[in-house]
Amino acid sequence: MRAYDVVIVGAGGAGLRTAIECARDEDIKIAVVSKVYPTRSHTGAAQGGVNAALGNVIKDDSPETHAYDTIKGSDFLADQDAVFFMCENAPEVIYELDRWGVPFSRLPDGRIAQRPFGGASFPRTVFSADRTGHVILHTLFEQALSKDNIDFYNEFFLIDILHNGQRVKGVSIYDIKNGEVITLRTKAVVLATGGFARIYWQRSTNAVGNTGDGVAVALRNGVPLKDIEFIQFHPTGLAKTGILLSEACRGEGGYLLNKFGERFMSRYAPEKMELAPRDMVSRAIEYEIREGRGVGEGTSAYVYLDLRHLGEEKIKERLPQVRQLAIDFEGVDPITDLVPIRPTAHYCMGGIHVENYITSSTPLEGLYAVGECACVSVHGANRLGGNSLIELLVFGKFCGIAVREYAKYSQHLPLTKAEENAGKEYIEKLIRREGSEKLAQIRKRMGEITWEKMGIFRDEKSLASAYEELSELLERWEKIPVVDKSKVFNTNLIEVMELRNMIEIARAVAFCALHRRESRGGHYREDYPERDDENFLKHTLVRQENGKLTIEYIPVRITKYQPAERKY
């Protein structure tokens, strides 16, 4: 059996940044496992940019202002010590990327350019046109490839982690290319498997692979998830497909218009207008549609994004990908046309419970979580645009340091024969399984439930019904056969495993949302429309044992800023 000191599952920005830091000690042997080729990870789809208070455009900006904006944006649910840690370390990790060769867009004097983004007091978002994630991901991959002590397991699917209830021992992974299951012994596992906004199957900006596999594995293994009821809906998804048009559109000066041509944000956020935080802008769009000021009705209704006044030159220089997406998927050219848009599921504020923000450790010894699959928590109830990429870079770096030190001073635990074979047996059982349920139907139904009953607007009845129906879907999942029995690139088998992960997480999201009887950030309850600090200024922790979910709450760490009403 192969043995490593550290196994990192996920080769997006979070996994790669962790691996690079970990590999600085050449004696540490690292495996990076990824179900897609690393440069196809969702980080590569990030468009708008990454936040760091460099003060290049307005020098008054500071890590402290970045921290305050983040905390206010989070609706005061973020842990303030962790937010300060992220914001203070942000400039350094950006300069590291600059030295590694990321081609950031520049000011005329050669310094790194910064653009305004939602909820930010200053232009703080560092970018490379509208392909920021793409260039960061490729640069990180180059750096990781240059390390001799990293082995890549590309196109391997995580089946499970192995542990003794106290400490991690290994992982079992499935080779998508040939159907083989292998077990890796390891002292530490870092989960960096990305978000799960694909539980909103109908309408999401996320890659189809963002199915929350690592989050579901943690949940099944008794590791708590934190604040997963908080899902971010991005205001500007293309109307027909839900594909993202970056916040950079509004950062560069784009307007939102209703069918009368009004800039309706003046009703909801008179000061910040289109650059209010995403939760507020998304709800504003939905109110306009509900009150008949959108174009069309029902699920196909929309409002407009207007970029025309920015001019051809700026659109081509700063928003080339946005323009192409609008042309390809909506049939309109933003230089001359209005673009139909509507909110779309985008990001998961919650995730695997990280206990210590400096190390990114979880309650299970040897298990770490970084990136979108983790909840540190720096985003609280609502993330600001550009703050996810900076989270990956800062916490990836410090997790890399922590995990390499942990691995240096700890020992491998022995694996039993049963543990070694567990992954193989699970796959064989799935392949043999018979039943009459259909994968596509159940996935479609899951998408309808999540969108309609636990989307932008929620209430007791809709959430209770979502929870019930998702529990039923989980039972029906047991009767989905894997029709394709082949060994080579069996995508049917992978999709069956991913669907289980999505339904389990979706059910837990409904459960936590049902119990949070208030509105805060991305979680909006029509039956409890106010924020309730007295009862709910706390983090949700959800655990799953023998298929049953239980909830507890832990305090928010408030160090400097007392909760105040959020006005923009």
Ligand X SMILES: Cc1cc2nc3c(=O)[nH]c(=O)nc-3n(C[C@H](O)[C@H](O)[C@H](O)COP(=O)(O)OP(=O)(O)OC[C@H]3O[C@@H](n4cnc5c(N)ncnc54)[C@H](O)[C@@H]3O)c2cc1C
Q: Which residues are catalytic?
A: 278
To the nearest whole angstrom, how small is the minimum distance from the Cβ of residue 173 to ligand X? Answer: 7
Handedness of CA 482, 484, 488, 492 (dihedral sign): negative
Q: Where are the beta strands (DSSP E) in 124-274?
A: 125-126, 150-154, 156-163, 168-175, 181-191, 225-226, 231-238, 255-257
Q: Which helix (H) or strand (E) holds 344?
A: strand 339-348
Residue 126 to residue 51: CA distance in whole angstroms: 6
3-state secondary structure of 271: coil
Q: Which helix (H) or strand (E) holds 9?
A: strand 2-9
To the nearest whole angstrom, how small is the minimum distance from the Cβ of residue 462 to ligand X? Answer: 25
State how beta strands 114-115 and 538-545 pair.
Answer: unpaired
Torsions phi, psi of 109, nearest 5? -85, 5
To the nearest whole angstrom, how small is the minimum distance from the Cβ of residue 46 to ligand X? Answer: 3
Q: In DSSP terms, which residues pair with 8 in a beta bridge? A: 32, 190
Task: List CB contacts of 545: < 8 A, sequence separation 6 or more.
Answer: 222
Q: Which is nearer to ligand X, 237 or 294 (CB)?
A: 237
To the nearest whole angstrom, how small is the minimum distance from the Cβ of residue 456 to ligand X? Answer: 17
To the nearest whole angstrom, how small is the minimum distance from the Cβ of residue 209 to ligand X? Answer: 6
CA distances, 476 to each of 27, 140, 259, 550 (Å) = 47, 41, 43, 22
Task: Report DSSP state, residue 413.
Answer: P
Q: In DSSP terms, which residues pair with 152 in a beta bridge? A: 32
Q: Where do we find the tokens 């240059």?
A: 146
Q: Which is nearer to ligand X, 258 or 544 (CB)?
A: 544
348 burial class (0-12, 13-18, 19+ CB within 10 angstroms)? buried
- The HSE-up count of residue 403 (CA atoms within 13 Å, CB side) is 40
Q: Which is nearer to ligand X, 94 or 463 (CB)?
A: 94
Cβ-proximal residue to ligand X, closest one: 12
> Six-digit token pair at 210?
């963002």
> Six-digit token pair at 171?
């992982």
To the nearest whole angstrom, how small is the minimum distance from the Cβ of residue 7 to ligand X? Answer: 10
- Direct distance between the N- and C-terminal alpha carbons of the chain, in angstroms, rounded to an integer: 57
The residue type of 388 is S
Do 80 and 557 touch, CB atoms closer than 8 A?
Answer: yes
3-state secondary structure of 29: coil
Residues that bind ligand X (CB under 6 A): 9-15, 33-36, 38, 41-43, 45-50, 132-133, 156-158, 192-195, 205-206, 210, 213-214, 244, 246, 347, 371-373, 385-389, 392
To the nearest whole angstrom, how small is the minimum distance from the Cβ of residue 482 to ligand X? Answer: 16
Q: Which is nearer to ligand X, 19 or 315 (CB)?
A: 19
To the nearest whole angstrom, how small is the minimum distance from the Cβ of residue 515 to ligand X? Answer: 25
Pick from 524, 491, 392, 488: which is nearest to 90 by CA? 392
Residue 130 to residue 145: CA distance in whole angstroms: 25
Pick from 60, 47, 46, 79: which is nearest to 121 by CA? 60
To the nearest whole angstrom, how small is the minimum distance from the Cβ of residue 318 to ligand X? Answer: 13
Q: Which is nearer to ligand X, 390 or 413 (CB)?
A: 390
Residue 412 to residue 169: CA distance in whole angstroms: 7
Q: Which is nearer to ligand X, 44 or 294 (CB)?
A: 44
